Amino acid sequence: MAAGEPARRVEELRKLIRRYDYHYYVLDDPLVSDSEYDRLYRELEELEGAHPELVTPDSPTQRVGGEVLEGFGQVTHSQPMLSLDNSYSEDELVEFDRRIARAAGQEGPFDYVTELKLDGLAVNLLYENGTLVQGATRGDGRTGEDVTANLRTLRSLPLRLQDEELDPPLPAILEVRGEVYITRSGLEAANAQRLTDGEPAFANPRNAAAGSIRLLDSSITAGRPLKIVLYQMLAGETALLSGFSRHSEVLSYLRKAGFPVNPLWKACRGIDQVIDFCREWAQRRAQLDYNIDGVVVKLDDLRLRERLGATSKAPRWAMAYKFAAEQARTQLIAIDLQVGRTGALTPTARLEPVFLAGSTVSNATLHNEDEIERKDIRVGDWVWIEKGGDIIPKVVAVDTKARKPDTEPYRMPENCPVCGSKAVRPPGEVVRRCTNASCPAQIKERIWHFTSRGAMDIEGAGPALVEQLVDNGLVHDVADLYSLKKDQLAALERMGNKSAENLLAQIEVSKSRGPARLLFALGVRYVGAIAAQLLAERYGNLIAMQDATKEEIEAIEGIGQVIAASMAAFLAEPRNRQLLERLEEAGVELGCAPAEKVEIPAEGPLAGKRFVLTGILSKFTRSEAERLIKERGGKVSGSVSSKTGGVIFGEQPGSKLDKAKKLGVRTIDEAEFLRMLDQK
C-alpha cells in the first residue's frame, strides 16, 4: 500500500461504518448485509492493528469496552439537570396549560411537543468538534458521575457526529441530554441469562440501565443490550438560539447530526391535542418493545421557555403526564417454593393465566415471607397483579371481599420442600434457607451456575442436563464435571455419542477460563463477577488466596465487609479447600503463579502502623503501594478508625478521607508518602 494510503483508507472505512451504524441503529434501515459490514469492520481493525498511530478515540473499533475503572470521577453539569413536575390526570394537564398562559401573559392555544417518557437513566453528553469526549449521569442534578467509557460502548450513540450539510453548523462545544434504556425483549434475554448465571433478575428497565452504565468494567457494559434516545440540546437553547426558535427544530437537527431520537414525538396545537396524544399512548403502550410510564409535554417555543424559566427543581415549561400502572385480577392457585444454590427458599405465586401489559402472566413474585404476611396473601385468593415499569409481575393487593371463609393464612414450611432438611431463617435476614448443603436442589443450582455463560461457560450443560447428572448420581459437586466419561454422558436422555463428545470438549475448554471466572463460578455468597475480578487481580491464584484473612481481603479497594467476611468463611471451610485441590488436580487453571507474599518485617520506618489507601495515586498502583508499605513494616487496612496510623490519599479520594479528618487521623498526600518511603 502506497505511503499515505493506509490513512486515507482508514478514514474512508470509518465514514462508511459510521454511516452504516447510523442507518442500522438509529434509522432501523440497514444499507448493507451483516457479512459486508463485518468485512469492512475487520479490514479497519487490521489496518489499525498494522498502523496503531492511526487509532483515534472516535474510531468505531474503540467501542467494545474493556476499561476497568477504580471508581467514577465527578462531573459538574454546566446547567442543572432538573426533574419534571408530574401530573396524573387530564385536569392537571389543563391546569398546567393555564399556568403557562398566566406566566406568559397571553392566551393560548400554545404549541407543545409531546414525547414518550422512557423509564431509563438520564445522561449528559459533551462533544468537542463533533467528537464525544464526556458522558455523565444526572447524579444530584448538579454533579454526576463520569461514565464516558461505558457510554462509548452503546452502538446507537455516535462517537463522531455527522457534520456535513448541517444548518447551522455544529458548534465547537455541544452538550446534549438523553435517556439510556433497555427494550423489553433485550431485558427479558438479559434476565434469562442472569438467572442462568445464578444472578438475580433485574427488577425493572431503569435498574437494568442504571446498573449497567455504572459498572466499573466497561466490557460488561458492552455486553448489555443498552440503547439511548436524545431529547435535548443545550447549545440549541442557549448559544445557538438564533439558529432555532422551536424545540421541534432541535429534535430534527439532532437526528440529522446522527443522534437517535425517538420518532414518535408529535407537535401539538393546544392542550386538547396533547390530551389526545396521552390517551392514545396510554392505550397503545403495550405495542412497544420498550416500557414507557407516561408522556413528557414541553412548550415548543424556545424563547417563551426562556422567559418562563424554572424553579429550583423543575422547568416551568414542561410537565410529565404519568400513566396509571396496568393491573389485572386473577386467582392465586398455589405458592411454589424454589430452592436456590445458597439454600434460599423463594416463594412464587402460581396464577390462573391472565393477559397483562402485552403478555400472558402465570407466575408472579411474592418476594419473601414477610411480604406475604404483610399483604395477607393466601392460596385461593383473588389478587391484583401489576407490571407497571417492572418486567417481573408482582402481587400488589388481595381482593379480600372475594375470599372464601375457609382459607388459611400462609406459613412458610420449616423444612426444605426438596430434601426435607430443616429450613431456618437466620437472625436479621428475610430469607429462610435449607440447612443441608447436599440438598439436590442446591447442588443442581450450584452446578448450573458453575456451567453458565458468565461463569465457566460450558455450552450444552443446561438445566435439563444438570438435573440428569445429579439425579443419576454422576455429579455431586462441580469438580465431578471434570471426571465425566463419554459413555456416561451418551447413555443419558437426549444425548448420544456426538453430543457427549461436544460437551466433553466444552468442559475441557472451560479449564482455562481463569481465576476470576472460576471464583465467580464457585458461587461464593455476595461475590459477583466484579468482586471476583478484584480478588483475582489481587491474589492471582485461588490457592494463594487460601491464607487470606478477612481484614486483608477487606483492604482491597472495592471489597466491602460483607464480601470479605463471606470470602474468608468460604476459604476457611475444609471442604471448599478440598474442592479447589480437586479442581486443580483435574487440570482447571486456578490462576497464574501464586502472587508473591510480602513478608512484613518486624522493624522498619512504618513498623507497627496501619494505613488506609484512598483515591488514585499517580506513581503507584494500589497493589504496589500496599507492597511498599508492608516492606517497610506497615500494615494496610480497608477501613478508617481512631487507631489508623494514617490515610494516604490521591486524586478523587472517597469518604475515607472525610472520616479520617473527622476522627483527627493523619492524612498523607502522595508527595508526603514518597518522603516516608525514603526513610531509613
Q: Which of 93-107, 239-253, 287-301, 589-603 is least confident?
A: 589-603
Most confident of the following: 371-375, 574-578, 617-621: 371-375
Question: What CATH number was assigned to the domain covering residues 515-585?
Answer: 1.10.150.20
Which CATH architecture group holds 610-677? Answer: 3-Layer(aba) Sandwich (3.40)
Mean local confidence (pLDDT), 540-554:
83
Identify the pLDDT of residue 237: 43
Looking at the predicted structure, is the pLDDT value of residue 602 above 70? no
* 505 alpha-carbon distance from chain centroid: 32
Are the folds of 440-510 and 515-585 the same? yes
Identify the pLDDT of residue 278: 96
The residues, any chain, with a CB within 8 Å of residue 522's CB and separated by 6 or more, are: 450, 478, 570, 576, 579
Identify the pLDDT of residue 594: 40
Beta strands in 576-645 (DSSP E): 610-614, 635-637
Question: What CATH number was assigned to the domain covering residues 86-322?
Answer: 3.30.470.30
Chain position carrying cell 424559566: 309
Beta strands in 586-662 (DSSP E): 610-614, 635-637, 646-649
Mean local confidence (pLDDT), 615-639:
74
Mean local confidence (pLDDT), 421-426:
89
Q: Is the peptide bond before 594 cis (omega within 30 degrees of 0)?
A: no
Of the residues 15, 117, 511, 643, only one is catalytic, namely 117
Among candidate residues 122, 383, 391, 373, the one with its CA nearest the CA of residue 232: 122
CA dihedral 669, 674, 677, 678 (to 10 degrees): -140
Identify the pLDDT of residue 301: 94
Pairing state between β 344-356 and 318-322: unpaired
Using left for φ > 0, alpha for ψ between -120 and 50, and beta otherwise, residue 58 falls in alpha
DSSP secondary structure code for residue 144 in this structure:
E
Chain position carrying cell 487481580: 537
Q: What is the pTM of this model?
A: 0.52
* Fold type of domain 440-510: DNA polymerase; domain 1 (1.10.150)
Beta bridge partners of 415: 422
- The CATH superfamily of 5-63 is Helix hairpin bin (1.10.287.610)
Domain 327-402 CATH class label: mainly beta
Give the domain ranges of the chain.
Answer: 5-63, 86-322, 327-402, 440-510, 515-585, 610-677
Chain position carrying cell 475444609: 574
Cα-Cα-Cα-Cα dihedral sign, residues 599, 603, 609, 614: negative
Identify the pLDDT of residue 46: 82
H or E element, residue 63: none
Looking at the predicted structure, is the pLDDT value of residue 574 above 60? yes
Among candidate residues 95, 112, 109, 87, the one with its CA nearest the CA of residue 319: 87
Residue 147 to residues 123, 212, 591, Cα–Cα distance (Å): 9, 10, 30
Looking at the predicted structure, is the pLDDT value of residue 74 above 80? yes
Instruction: Report the percentage of the chain scoring pLDDT > 90.
Output: 33
Retrieve residue 530's grid coordinates: 466484579
To the query of whether residue 619 is one of the catalytic residues in this protein, the response is no
Residue 133 to residues 58, 69, 169, 281, 323, Cα–Cα distance (Å): 9, 17, 19, 36, 36
Chain position carrying cell 427544530: 249
Identify the pLDDT of residue 2: 60
Q: Which of 140-154, 192-206, 273-287, 660-674 is least confident?
A: 192-206
Q: Which of 312-326, 379-393, 425-439, 613-627 is least confident?
A: 613-627
Q: In sequence order, what DSSP letters do the residues of 447-501 get, joined into one string?
A: HHHHHSTTTT--TT--HHHHHHHHHTTS-SSGGGGGG--HHHHHTSTT--HHHHH
CB 127 within 8 A of CB 176: yes
The residue ranking higher by pLDDT, 286 or 520, is: 520
pLDDT digits (tens, 9 = 90+) for 310-363: 876 789 999 999 887 778 899 999 999 988 888 889 899 999 998 876 668 899
Pairing state between β 610-614 and 635-637: parallel
Alpha-carbon distance of 622 to 613, in angstroms, equals 8
pLDDT digits (tens, 9 = 90+) for 225-284: 899 999 999 854 444 445 788 999 999 999 999 999 999 999 999 999 999 999 999 989
Percent helix, percent strand, percent coil in the chain, to nearest 5: 40, 20, 40
The residue ranking higher by pLDDT, 204 or 189, is: 189
